[in-house]
Amino acid sequence: MRIIKTKGERLLKKELKGDFKFFLKEANLNPKSKGYGLIRDKSELSPQIASIASVGYGLAGLVIGVERKWLKFTDGYYRANKTLDTFINHMEETHGFFYHFINMETAKREWNCEVSIIDTGIFICGAILAGEYFKGQVKEKAEKLYKNIDWEWYRDKNVNQFYMGYSPEEGFSGHWDMYAEQLMLYVLSVASPTHSVDPSIYQDFQKPIGDYQEIKDIVYTYCGALFTYQYSHTWIDFRNRKDKDGIDWFENSIKATLANRKYCIAQSKMPQTNPEPVGTSKTYGENSWGLTACVGPKGYSGEFGAKPAKSQLKGNDGTISPSGAAGSIVFTPELSLQALEYYYNHFPKLWGKYGFKDAYNLDYGKPWYAKECIGIDKGISMLMIENYLSGLIWRYFMKNEYIQKGLEKLDILPKKKELEKV
């Protein structure tokens, strides 16, 4: 991966600082509160609602802040340590899993939401990272929370897949039956020293393969949204690794990102020479791409996506989030930088106190710009930009013994070792 020393890198650092400020400022820092360390899901709406995924990214943000001297080590350690205390002492949990959305002050469930395996996974990844960096009690508490997760309880034994959600009122629902952002769950679960899952679970979800234009053999996701190709890569360094079936997940995300961009070009109102009919979007284009989950004119949606996909992509309405390109900076450095510079130079209303706001849309009557920032989009932007600039997140996360063990048990090995096993 080539680091580009240009004005674009200065913009990346500016966005990185804005992302960091979101997690610094949108947190409950009242030391007397049961919700200390909880971080808002959104900057503008529902100020009392935190998400556990935001907290996971926020823990990683403390590492970035200390490393870049935006935060003292002692302050970062204190915040990480006390945040983990909140999860140990006050958070509602079921078999070690946490509710998706919680009250900022009480740490209790909100919106009748689900006990979320994927959001618990994101939080635990952030805790593990913080433990590797800060050591001491932070590492001890992160490991305690990790060991408390009963992964087997969340597995449907009939199909050997994780359920997608659980609520006390309705029980389990859905399955992680197809490739998406959940690779981290298999690494975490098979390596658990207390409640491990058999590695065969990694073989028992669908990995459909499709093409888009000249880009071949993409293992694609249901909705084709970029976050599904990004989230696990935020933490786990899949570079130069293959599984026993020959899948290189990092290379796969590169191809999916390139396909996402080409799809946006095909759907745009611009001259083009490709097999697709001329599109209708004024937003999409060669420097405005990256269909991914974000807020749009009609509210939040995870249905914005690109081909190849199982979905019919009927949710696409011209909404683009800068986090799509920013979260793929490690996959497509030059193209992502061009997109971020385009947003910054052409759409001043898209920039705010935390860097890029969540999304914009030129196809919804008059131009529409999100008012808010969303934790998961700020988080994926922050961590991937830091990985691109320094590799910091990958470097510390990959030091963890359980992550190394999980990759080994799943046979997702460095290419040299993978060849030795053949």
2 domain-assigned:
no
Segment 353-368, tens digit of pLDDT: 999 999 999 998 899 9
Give domain status of residue 353, yes or no.
yes
Classify strands 360-361 and 319-320 as parallel, antiparallel or unpaired: antiparallel
Q: Which of 311-315, 316-320, 330-334 has the lowest mean pLDDT?
A: 311-315
Cα separation, 412 vs 418, in Å, equals 8
d(CA 61, CA 178): 30
How far is 359 from 381, CA to CA, in rounded Å?
A: 13
Residue 68 lies in a domain: yes
| CATH, residue 281 | 1.50.10.140
Helices 7-25 and 333-346: crossing angle, nearest 10°? 70
- Domain, as residue range, for 215: 7-421
Structural domains in the chain (count): 1
Q: Cα–Cα distance between 116 and 180 in angstroms, integer?
A: 15
pLDDT interval class at 422 (50, 70, 90): very low
345 in a domain, yes or no? yes
- pLDDT band at residue 2 under the 50/70/90 scheme: very low
**Is a pLDDT exceeding 80 seen at residue 229?**
yes
Give domain status of residue 282, yes or no: yes
Report the distance separating Cα 370 and Cα 355, nearest Å. Answer: 12
- Does 4 have pLDDT greater than 80? no
| 24 confidence band (pLDDT: 50, 70, 90) | very high
Q: Could you tell me which residues are beta bridge partners of residue 268? A: 281
Residue 1 inside a domain? The answer is no
Q: Is residue 233 part of a domain?
A: yes
pLDDT at 317 over 50: yes
